[in-house]
Chains A and B, each alone.
Chain A
Amino acid sequence: MTQQVPGPEMTTGQKFYVREVLQGLWITLKHTVRNVLNADENFTIIDYPDVKKVMPERYKGAHRLTTRPDGKVKCVACMMCAQICPAKCITIEAGEDPDDPVEKYPVQFQIDMLRCIYCGFCVEACPKDAIRMDTGIYEINGFTRQDLIHDKAYMKDLKAGKKPLAEDWYREHPEDAPPGYDVKAPKLREGY
């Protein structure tokens, strides 16, 4: 059974709606005039994609792998991040480094950004501070699924705005592309 919830009783004047309508129109007119006279200052919008928003420091964006002073990734392929990842989207192929005292390093390190839920657990779990999400990159997109698998070469010391999108990076550096990546595929987008 539907129940009637009694609203506030309207006065006779209000039942004609004239005054109320005029009040509303006055408010919207004020906004219109203000915006026509002075558009740029009043709109709290960003002209994306011509102007891009700079994200706050603690924004969780695309992952990057931090490096040691000698340029190698800090990651020791301990698999902690792969273990804790609730989306199971980190794939690490560990390898042995005979010259290095830390012995293990990731031969391949891939994150499937399509499955990542940006929880940040990988960052929390890492004992070596090797993975971070502080790049501030929020445009994680591509035209194929392959474009969205970020791998070691791309994530290595990625800084905000310093590297192009993964798609463009792989095309310029075919040797870095994840296995099976079709670098010869026609470029779908011009001018980034």
Chain B
Amino acid sequence: MDWIQIGIVAAKIGFAVAFVMSIVPILIWGERKWSAYIQDRPGPNRAQIAGIRAGGLVHVLTDVVKLFMKEDVQPTAAMKAYWWVAPLIPMIVGLMTFTVVPWSSDFAIPAHSFGDWPAADLTIPMQVARINAGMLFILAFSSLSVYGIMLAGWGSNNKFSMLGGLRASAQMISYELAMGLSVVVMFLVYGTVRLDEIAQQQAGSIFNWGIFAPTGFIVGLIAFLIYWTSVLAETNRLPFDLPEGEAEIVAGYHTEYSSMRFALFFMAEYAHMIVGSTLTVTLFFGSYNIPFLRPETLQANIDGVLIALGCLGIPVNLFFAWLAWKRRRRVFYLSIRPDDPRQKEPKFWVAVWTMAALASAGLAVLGISRWVGMHLLAAETAVLLLHIGMLLVKVMFFCYVFVWIRWTLPRFRYDQLMNLGWRMMVPVAIANVLLAGIWVIIRETFLA
């Protein structure tokens, strides 16, 4: 392995970490804002930088400052080693599981693209580690994160924390089973456990997506519902957030944590949300693939796609600019003082959206100039970016569903949780695996 390859791997690791960690603050903001809109209130809207409040995004920055400045309280009775290690585990595990997720089709560099390098055709897989265990690696690792919660609960030396830890471990073990069984359905349908191969098979028509279990629709749908419910339970989100259960056990396993240690738990929850959404997308919703556009088709017609994107982007961005301009007449702007810095907000947004419209126009011009299509590497890069963008859109949608569910459903009672897990989901999941097996046999023997 030469230096260039090490560099490439390092860049991919950096990208994976950046991908997760840069969505986390957006999700924290989203959680506040989307929940506010569900509950008919405006959400965070006070913090501002030079009068620009960016719909509450600035609050995330103030959060960071707050968490860093806060006192890091260490309970004297806590078991130091466990207590120190616990917050690290969920975060590390969350990032680890992201390593086998593919985020684009292979990036091919033909021989001698840059002078002598590369000596032979080079294909870079667009995932950090292409290991043949694939999804099994994720199942193995994601169940490790419960150790962080258990250690936090036990190490805090606090009854509430311990109850939280106990609940978390019982819950995770029960739901891991149903999750594994629903993933088995996907293994059966696609005949592989490797996520990159699953992603490749989902290219093209949306009926290749996992949720349609090409296309034993019922099997895929049931598998998805079970998988999604288990992901909710695995991430300790409502309606399964019994480990935190503010109403009953203070804050559960992180009762004794403050400052950045709490922030680690907090961020780990969001990192797990992102990883959970990414896996759902990868298994059931076509991964990075753009519907009806195979990677090869996309690369061949990259200029046309760019033109279409640019032409679509101009009116959309101009519409937002118009909306921003219209919002200067809001009651809010009329009632604050004329010299208030927030008065320049509408102008700022008009400028931002107009720039975005100009960028779209630039994209369209780039497409018309056919420059991207003529250069192989440029086309590859464009495909890579489009795929990552598509993945991002899908992941953000499922993150939204996370938030949406959280602010809609009440928390399950513990016996309801266990009943649902063991009496409903596990039997249904087993039946679904049988059904999937039958469907695959039918497909292989009669429809092949």
Please report A residues at the B interface, Cβ cutoff 8 Å. 15-18, 21, 24-25, 27-29, 31-32, 35-36, 39-40, 42-45, 47, 50-51
Contact = CB atoms under 8 A, between A and B. Distances in A.
Interface of B: 34, 37-42, 225, 330-332, 335-336, 404-405, 407-409, 420, 424
B147 to A, nearest CB: 29
B37 A18 contact: no
B309 to A, nearest CB: 24
7 contacts: A17-B420, A24-B408, A39-B42, A40-B332, A45-B41, A47-B331, A51-B331
B408 A43 contact: no
Contacts of B404: 25, 28-29, 32
A21 B409 contact: yes
A16 B424 contact: yes
A16 to B, nearest CB: 6
A25 B408 contact: yes
B299 to A, nearest CB: 36
B37 A32 contact: yes
Contact of B37 (A36, A50, A51): A36
Contacts of B40: 31, 35, 42-44
B424 A24 contact: no
Contacts of A32: 34, 37-38, 404
Contacts of A44: 40
Contact of A43 (B34, B41, B225): B41
A117 B182 CA distance: 62
A43 B42 contact: yes
A14 to B, nearest CB: 11
A69 B405 CA distance: 64
A21 B225 CA distance: 12
Contacts of A50: 332, 335-336
Given A16-B424, A28-B38, A31-B40, A40 B408 contact: no
A93 B225 CA distance: 76
Contacts of B37: 31-32, 35-36
Contacts of B420: 17
Given A15-B424, A21-B409, A25-B404, A31 B332 contact: no
Most buried by A among B37, B330, B409: B37
A45 B407 CA distance: 20
B222 to A, nearest CB: 10
Contacts of A24: 408-409
A9 to B, nearest CB: 14
B409 A47 contact: no
Contacts of A27: 408
